[in-house]
Chains A and B, each alone.
Chain A
Amino acid sequence: MGETLGPLIERLPAFLGGHLQLSVAAILTALAVSLPLGIAAARNPKIAAPALTVASVMQTIPALALLALMVPLLGGTIGFAPAFIALTLYGVLPVLRNTIVGLQGVDRTVREAARGIGMSPVQSLVQVELPLAAPTIIAGVRTATVWVVGAATLATPVGATSLGNYIFSGLQTRSWDMVIFGCVCSAGLAILLDQLIRALHVSAEARKPLQAVLAGCAVVVIPAAAMSGAALYVSDERSGAFAAGSVDAGFGDDEVIVGAKAFTEQYIIAEVLEARLENAGAEVRRRDNLGSTVVFDALVSGEIDVYVDYTGTLWNNVLQRGAPVDRHLMYAEVSSHLLSQYGVLTLGRLGFENAYGIAVRRDFAEVNSLTSIADLARVEDLSIGADPEFFVRPEWERVRDGYQITGAEERSMDAAFMYGAVRDGAVDAITAYTTDGRIDAFDLVILEDPLGALPPYDAVLLLSPQAVQRPAIARALAPLIGAIDADLMRQANAVVDLERRSVGEGADVILQAVED
C-alpha cells in the first residue's frame, strides 16, 4: 500500500480542490436560492406547494442522471457548469423544506408577541422567527452538505474534476486502493464539513463568539486553502502552457485538451495522444472518464480537442442509424457526416477494431458445441452479462431477435467485472470488447456472427472544429493512423488489466511500437 499511496496523494490537491470548489459553490448557491424562497413560502402556501413539489421531483432524479442531463441542456458544455447546476438543484430541497417547516413551527403566540410589542415584519423574521427556526434550518443545510459532497463524486463523467476521478478510474482499471482512497476522501470531506457547520451552530447558540468565529473561519479557510492549492496546481499547468507556446511549436498559446471515456483502452489511448502531443511541444490537459455520449458533445462544443471513438458507436448514437453496413462503408459515411454536420474531422482509423463480440468459456463452447451466436438458442437457462449500455442498444435487439435468444436472462454489470463473471460461471456468455486482453488470458472464445448483427467498431481519431484550425495537432497525431492493430491494443490492455501495471506502462507498449 505504501508505494501505491504516493501517486494517489500526488493528485489529491487537484481532485480535492476541484471537489471542494464544486460542492462549496453548489451548497452556497443552493442556500442563496432556498433560504429566501423558503421564507417567502412559509408565509404563502401558494408558493410553498409548487416549490416543494419541484424540489422533491429534482430529488427523485438519480444524481448521476441529473448530472448527465445537464450536458445536453447546456448545449454540450462539460466540466464545472453542468456539475455545479445539477448539484445546486440537488442541494435545494433539504434547505427549502427545513426552512419552511422551521418557520411554520414557530409558536403562533411568539409571533403575535413580536408583532404586539412593535416589531416590523422584517424585525420579527430576523430577531425572532429565524433564530427560533435555526436548528431546523441548520439541520437542512447539513443534510444538503452531505448529499452534495457525496453526489459531487458523480461529476467525473460530465468532465468536472472531483474525488470521483479516483473512483471512476479505479473501478475501470480494478485498482481497488484507488477506489477506496476516493471514497474515504469524499466521506471524510462530507463528515468534516458537516461537523464544522454543527460546531458553528453550537457555538452561535451558546453565544460563544470566539468559538463561533473559529468555526466560521474553519468553514471558510479550509475550502479556500484547498481551492488555492488547486488554483496553484492549475496555474502551474497554465504557465507551462504559455512557456511551451512561446517556443512556438505551432500549437498557439492554448493547451490541447485530450478526452477519454471511462475504460482502460481509452485511458491508454489518451495517454498515447498526450505523449505524442507533448513530444511535439504542446501543453496537454486531460479530461478522463467522460460519459460515452457526453464526450462527443464536448468535442463538438470545443471543450475537448481530440479523442478516440468507435465507428459503430457513432453510427448508432450520433448518426442514429439502424442496421449496420459494411465496415469500410460505415467509416466513410460516419466521417463525412461528422464533418458536414459538426465540423468534426475524422483524422483516420487507428488500425484496430474494438467491437462487441459474444464470448463464452472455451469448455462451455465445447460442451454445448457452440461456434456461432445462433447456437446459443439451444442453451437452456442462458444468461448473458453486458455493460449497462449494451442492452439498450439496437444491436442487442438485432442479436436477440435475429438469433432467437429472447429467453436469455440479461445481467447488466460494469465492464470491468464481466470477464471474471463468465470465467467463474456466474453468467454463460458476455458481450466482450474484442480488444480486451482478458479474452486470451481467461481462455474465452468469440462466437461467430453470421448475420452481421454486431456492427463494426473501428477506432477513429476525432478532432474538434477548433483543433482542425491548429494543424500542428494533426501533424503530431498522424503517425498513429493505421499504426495500432488489434494485437498491439490487446497487449497494451493486458498490461493494465491483467498485469496490474500502470496506464503509462500500457501506453509505452504502443509508443514504442509506433514509428515516426
Chain B
Amino acid sequence: MILQVDQLAKRFPGGVKAVADVSFTAGAGELVALVGESGCGKTTTLKCINRLHEPSAGRVLIEDEDIQGLDPVAQRRRIGWVMQGDGLFPHMSAAANIAVGPRLLGWEAGRIAARVDELLELVRLDPAIYRDRLPRQLSGGQRQRIGVARALAAGPHLVLMDEPFGALDPITRDGLRADFSELQARLKFAAVMVTHDMAEALLMADRIAVMEAGRILQYDTPSALLAAPAGETVARMLESPLREAERVGALKAGAAQNG
C-alpha cells in the first residue's frame, strides 16, 4: 500500500475541529477522490498528508513509513503536488518549473534536461515549442499540464492534487482528465484528488470519500456509491450529475428523432 490514512484528525489553534476520524488508503495506480462542499475538510486532509499542516492525531503512512518520523521538506520532495489554479512560478520557464523537483533532489543537469523533455511529451506538449515559454505565454490548459508534469518530474509514487482541473473550460478539462488517467495507468502512481465536482470524482476515481463537516460520510467505489448512497446528503450530492446526464440523454434522443 502506498498511502494509508488512519483516523486522521486536525484541530487548528483555538480549538476549531477541521477534520476528525478520516481513514482511507490508496494503492499503486489507484486514485482516491475526496469530495465535498467548501469547508468540509477535504483540502485540510490533503495538506496533512504532505504536512503543509501537521496532523493533530491519527497516523499517515507512506509506503509503510509513518510520516511523523520524516523530515517534512525531504518528504514533500518525494510527493507530487498539483495545486488549485496552477501554482507555477511566473518567473521561470516551463522547463525550469518542471525541473524544480529534480533540482532540489540534486540530479545532474543532463538527466534533468532529458527528464523535462520526456515529461513535456508525456503531457502532450512539444518540448521544442513549449520548453522555454513563461507561464504567462501559455493557455490555462497548457499551464495545468505543466503543473502535472512538475508534480511527476521526480517520479513520485504518490501524487496529491487540490482541485487540479477546477479552473479549466469543460473541453480542456475533459481532455486533461483522460490524459491524466492514462498517465496514471501507465506510471502506476497512487493519487489523491480533492474536488467538489461529484461527476469528476465518479469518472476518475477508484474510490470516493464523501466528506461533510470534517468527517467521511461514505467511502466506497463509484458503482457502490451510485447503487447505495449512505444517507440523504450523499444521495443529494449524486443527484445533480445524474440529473444532468439524464437531461442531456433525453435531449440527444429527441434530436435523433427530429433529425
Inter-chain contact B81/A116, CB cutoff 8 Å:
yes
Inter-chain contact B83/A112, CB cutoff 8 Å:
yes
Interface residues of A in 105-146 (CB under 8 A from B): 107, 109-110, 112-120, 123, 127-128, 131-132
Inter-chain contact A117/B52, CB cutoff 8 Å:
no
A119 and B87 contact, Cβ closer than 8 Å, known pairs A112-B52, A113-B81: no
Is B76 an interface residue, CB under 8 A from the partner?
A: yes
Interface residues of B in 73-94 (CB under 8 A from A): 73-74, 76-79, 81, 83-85, 87-91
A131 and B91 contact, Cβ closer than 8 Å, known pairs A116-B83, A117-B76: yes
Which B residues are CB-close (under 8 A) to A123? 104
Inter-chain contact B89/A128, CB cutoff 8 Å:
yes
User: What's the nearest-Cβ distance from chain B to residue A108, in Å?
Assistant: 10
Q: Is the interface of A mostly helix, strand, loop or mixed?
A: helix
Which B residues are CB-close (under 8 A) to A114? 89
A110 and B81 contact, Cβ closer than 8 Å, known pairs A115-B76, A116-B52, A117-B150: no
Inter-chain contact B101/A117, CB cutoff 8 Å:
yes
A115 and B85 alpha carbons, distance in the complex (Å): 16
In chain A, what residue has the closest Cβ to B85? Answer: A109
Is B144 an interface residue, CB under 8 A from the partner?
A: no
Inter-chain contact A110/B104, CB cutoff 8 Å:
no
Q: Beta-carbon contacts of B39-59 to A below 8 Å, as 1s and 0s? A: 000000000001010000000
Inter-chain contact B73/A117, CB cutoff 8 Å:
no
Is B100 an interface residue, CB under 8 A from the partner?
A: yes
A310 and B43 alpha carbons, distance in the complex (Å): 80
A110 and B76 contact, Cβ closer than 8 Å, known pairs A116-B52, A117-B100, A117-B101: no
A69 and B121 alpha carbons, distance in the complex (Å): 66
A119 and B81 alpha carbons, distance in the complex (Å): 12
Interface residues of A in 292-314 (CB under 8 A from B): none
Most buried by B among A109, A113, A123, A128: A113
Which A residues are CB-close (under 8 A) to B73? 118-120
Inter-chain contact B83/A118, CB cutoff 8 Å:
no
User: What's the nearest-Cβ distance from chain A to residue B38, in Å?
Assistant: 16
Inter-chain contact A113/B76, CB cutoff 8 Å:
no
State which of A110, A116, A117, A120 has its C-beta within 8 Å of the C-beta of B90.
A110
State which of B76, B84, B88 has its C-beta within 8 Å of the C-beta of A118.
B76
A113 and B88 contact, Cβ closer than 8 Å, known pairs A118-B73, A118-B77: yes
A116 and B87 alpha carbons, distance in the complex (Å): 10
A113 and B81 alpha carbons, distance in the complex (Å): 8
User: What's the nearest-Cβ distance from chain B to residue A202, in Å?
Assistant: 14
A41 and B259 alpha carbons, distance in the complex (Å): 69
User: What's the nearest-Cβ distance from chain A to residue B255, in Å?
Assistant: 42
A116 and B85 alpha carbons, distance in the complex (Å): 14
A115 and B52 contact, Cβ closer than 8 Å, known pairs A109-B83, A132-B90: yes
User: What's the nearest-Cβ distance from chain B to residue A3, in Å?
Assistant: 55
User: What's the nearest-Cβ distance from chain A to residue B254, in Å?
Assistant: 44
In chain A, what residue has the closest Cβ to B83? Answer: A113
Q: Beta-carbon contacts of A91-114 to B below 8 Å, as 1s and 0s? A: 000000000000000010110111
A115 and B89 alpha carbons, distance in the complex (Å): 12
User: What's the nearest-Cβ distance from chain A to residue B151, in Å?
Assistant: 8
Inter-chain contact A113/B104, CB cutoff 8 Å:
no
A129 and B189 alpha carbons, distance in the complex (Å): 31
A118 and B101 alpha carbons, distance in the complex (Å): 7
Q: Beta-carbon contacts of A253-274 to B below 8 Å, as 1s and 0s? A: 0000000000000000000000
Q: Beta-carbon contacts of B217-254 to A below 8 Å, as 1s and 0s? A: 00000000000000000000000000000000000000
Inter-chain contact A110/B74, CB cutoff 8 Å:
no
Inter-chain contact A109/B84, CB cutoff 8 Å:
yes
Most buried by B among A112, A116, A132: A116
Which A residues are CB-close (under 8 A) to B50? 116
A131 and B97 alpha carbons, distance in the complex (Å): 14
In chain A, what residue has the closest Cβ to B147? Answer: A113
Interface residues of B in 100-125 (CB under 8 A from A): 100-101, 104
Which B residues are CB-close (under 8 A) to A110? 87, 89-90
A314 and B6 alpha carbons, distance in the complex (Å): 86
In chain A, what residue has the closest Cβ to B47? Answer: A116
Which A residues are CB-close (under 8 A) to B79? 118
Most buried by B among A112, A131, A132: A112
A120 and B73 alpha carbons, distance in the complex (Å): 6
User: What's the nearest-Cβ distance from chain B to residue A204, in Å?
Assistant: 11
Inter-chain contact B104/A118, CB cutoff 8 Å:
yes
In chain B, what residue has the closest Cβ to A115? Answer: B52
A115 and B50 alpha carbons, distance in the complex (Å): 10
User: What's the nearest-Cβ distance from chain A to residue B114, in Å?
Assistant: 20
Which A residues are CB-close (under 8 A) to B89? 110, 113-114, 128, 132
Which A residues are CB-close (under 8 A) to B150? 117
Which A residues are CB-close (under 8 A) to B74? 118
User: What's the nearest-Cβ distance from chain A to residue B64, in Å?
Assistant: 21
User: What's the nearest-Cβ distance from chain B to residue A437, in Å?
Assistant: 66
A113 and B101 alpha carbons, distance in the complex (Å): 11
Which A residues are CB-close (under 8 A) to B85? 109
Which B residues are CB-close (under 8 A) to A115? 52, 76
User: What's the nearest-Cβ distance from chain B to residue A234, in Å?
Assistant: 45
Which A residues are CB-close (under 8 A) to B76? 115-118
In chain B, what residue has the closest Cβ to A134? Answer: B91
In the complex, 12 of the A-B residue pairs with CB atoms within 8 angstroms, ordered by the A residue number, are: A107-B90, A110-B89, A112-B52, A113-B83, A114-B89, A116-B83, A116-B87, A117-B76, A117-B100, A118-B78, A118-B104, A127-B100
- Give the top 7 A-B pairs by smallest Cβ distance, nearest first: A113-B87, A118-B77, A118-B76, A116-B81, A131-B91, A120-B73, A118-B104
Q: Given contacts A116-B52, A128-B89, could you give 15 more A-B pairs where the C-beta distance is less than 8 Å?
A: A110-B90, A113-B83, A115-B76, A116-B50, A116-B76, A116-B83, A116-B87, A117-B81, A117-B100, A117-B104, A118-B73, A118-B76, A118-B77, A120-B73, A127-B100
